[in-house]
Amino acid sequence: MSDAQAGLPELKLYNTLTRAKEGFAPLDPALVRMYVCGPTVYDYAHIGNARPVIVFDLLYRVLRHLYGADHVKYVRNITDVDDKINARAAGEYPGLDLNEAIAKVTFATEAQFHDDLEALGVMHPDVEPRATEHIAEMRTLIEKLVASGHAYVAENHVLFSVPSMPDYGELSHRPLDEMLAGARVDVAPYKRDAMDFVLWKPSRPGEPGWPSPAGIDVNGRPGWHIECSAMSWRHLGETFDIHGGGIDLVFPHHENEVAQSRCAFHTGIMAKVWMHNGFLQVEGEKMSKSLGNFVTIRDLLADWPGDVLRLNMLKTHYRQPIDWTLKGLEESAKTLEQWFDAAAPDAYPRPAPAVLEALADDLNTPKAIAEMHALKDHAGKKALGGTLAFLGFSEAPLRSWAAGRAPTLDIAPEEVEARIAERIEARRNRDFATSDRIRDELLALGVALKDNKDGTTSWEPRR
RNA sequence: GGCCACGUGGCGGAGUGGUUACGCAGCGGACUGCAAAUCCGCGUACGGGGGUUCGAUUCCCUCCGUGGCCUCCA
């Protein structure tokens, strides 16, 4: 079961750590382990947030196919402790106790996130851990780091000592001196080294707080990076196969995760393969609230089926920048409709060999899509159906969306049939002037006619 | 300022040291009374300038443009 089976392509993945595409060999083929950084739940997820979710969902499907569904463990966390959450909660519920306000914000945001993902048709990860449920693991990690000299206590903070790790910077490929030269932030006075980062910090009154590690006697809360080290450790172990996220996370977030985990466990790696998806722009511009082009998943779902959004995302290779446009969405919707027009159902969701081969090559989705276009002839219809199912695309929502999108008819169906009968009679008499007039009139009312080979005439709402 | 990506035909978007990616749009043909739908066919592109090479869109240098990171961020 575990090893590459006959007929299955070798999976190759681009590894940020080595900056090269490599053959993928799991640490334990009986259980391939993948961790992806999930959202910080303080606001509606935007379409950029959807990219890693969609990309790594695809990888999850490919891994399950290659290694068996029971031999893959996918963990995607929820970050529910963060300064942005606190700020939002205080602003949204000024009268409420801060902790209660935070609970309201995180609960509502997480529910919305799950609704969004449901509509997008991505699979559930095997585990979706919350940061606040892993405070104990964070404390344990911090104690380990302090004990081994990789972290120190200063003014009720615990800081990671970057100079204690000789190969710090291996993931982002940044030599320390260069970073210092470009740094333009004030260095907290209690840091021994400018690059040191916070593992734990004291809570201010009213803020969420937990008993601190390392002998600190005031309550505190975790720094940004420690949660992922804690959650991946708890659910995947000290080392695991794949760690994914957006390319903006490479530094400092992932670099610091690597430092924490490797130094806590004295291992040469944290994750074997690091994968990062590229950024997204909207209509050629960077997405920002100030430009007014901030697009949430929820907004898009009001106008489009989730599958169209997902296909649109996969049209571009995951490492490339993507420009999210209305025109692209129209095209994606059209493509999906064409595929379902041509596909024959397959009882088993399974990728066509050529599609799987493309996906195995570092998730080359544009190539895979080209292969799906090639399946539209008779011999490929069933393979196309199986591939669509494998990718999680479903026909019904698309069809009902398309039907709802058609212009409303200004004429009753019975009336259409009557006019068609009238036109057939005219054509039989070779009275084409009348025939064409009827067709034009119906078209003006939103009805498009099709004269079939067998002499009948069918119609559909004009697109 | 430092570091790092990307720049392909009208549009989207793979890939490759020398042979048509693919899709959308467009054009031509078949079919049709004419259409629609469908089917068949057509485009020789790779930011500018140098260099390496028998040969570069593909490698190297440089310039320009766009974006990312260095501070919260997918």
User: What span, in angstroms and rounded, lies between the C-alpha atoms of A406 and A408?
Assistant: 6
Q: How far is CA A426 from CA A58, A308, A312, in A?
A: 55, 42, 46
8 A C-beta contact, residue A298 and residue A304: no
Q: Please state the domain count of chain A.
A: 3
Per the domain annotation, does A437 fall within a domain? yes
Q: Per-residue pLDDT tens for A108-148? A: 999 999 999 999 999 999 999 999 999 999 999 999 999 99
Q: Are residues A70 and A37 in the same domain?
A: yes
Among A280, A295, A318, which residue terminates a domain?
A280
Residues placed in the known binding site of A for Zn(2+): 37, 228, 253, 257
Helix or strand run (H / E) with residue A250: none
Residue A185 — pLDDT band, cuts 50, 70, 90?
A: low
Closest CA to A16 of A128, A142, A172: A172
Note the pLDDT of residue A177: 62
Residue A243 — pLDDT band, cuts 50, 70, 90?
A: very high
Task: Report the distance from CA of residue A420 to the C1' of nucleotide B33 in Å, as an integer.
Answer: 17
For residue A85 the two structure tokens come to 């959450």
Q: Are residues A44 and A75 in the same domain?
A: yes
Given its phi and psi angles, is residue A169 left (phi above 0), alpha (psi -120 to 50 degrees) or beta?
A: left
Q: Per-residue pLDDT tens for A388-440? A: 999 999 999 999 998 887 767 777 888 888 888 899 989 988 899 999 999 98
What number is the average pLDDT over the span A305-334?
94
Phi, psi of A339 (to 5 degrees): -60, -45
Per the domain annotation, does A305 fall within a domain? no
Task: Report the distance from CA of residue A22 to the C1' of nucleotide B1 in Å, as an integer.
Answer: 35
Which value does ipTM take for this structure?
A: 0.91
What number is the average pLDDT over the span A376-397?
91
Neighbours of A343 (CB within 10 A): 23
Q: Which residue is nearest to nucleotide B23 (CA to C1')?
A: A370
Residues placed in the known binding site of A for ATP: 289
| Chain centroid offset of residue A240 CA | 20
Strand B, nucleotides < 7 Å from a protein CB: these are: 1-6, 11-15, 21-25, 32-37, 39, 66-74
Task: Say yes or no to pLDDT of A50 above 90.
Answer: yes
Q: Are residues A88 and A168 in the same domain?
A: yes
Note the pLDDT of residue A4: 45
Q: Which structural domain range is residue A442 located in?
A: 413-461
Q: Are residues A106 and A198 in the same domain?
A: yes
Mean pLDDT score of chain A: 89
Per the domain annotation, does A273 fall within a domain? yes
Task: Report the distance from CA of residue A339 to the C1' of nucleotide B18 in Å, as an integer.
Answer: 36
Task: Report the distance from CA of residue A53 to the C1' of nucleotide B38 in Å, as an integer.
Answer: 38
Span between the terminal Cα atoms of chain A, in Å = 49
Task: Say yes or no to pLDDT of A375 above 80.
Answer: yes
| Cis status of the peptide bond prior to A397, with omega within 30 of 0 | no
8 A C-beta contact, residue A383 and residue A352: yes
Q: Are residues A230 and A356 in the same domain?
A: no
What number is the average pLDDT over the span A253-281?
94
Task: Report the distance from CA of residue A286 to the C1' of nucleotide B62 in Å, as an integer.
Answer: 28
Closest CA to A360 of A7, A5, A3, A13: A13
Q: Are residues A344 and A233 in the same domain?
A: no
Q: What is the CATH classification number for the domain harbouring A359?
A: 1.20.120
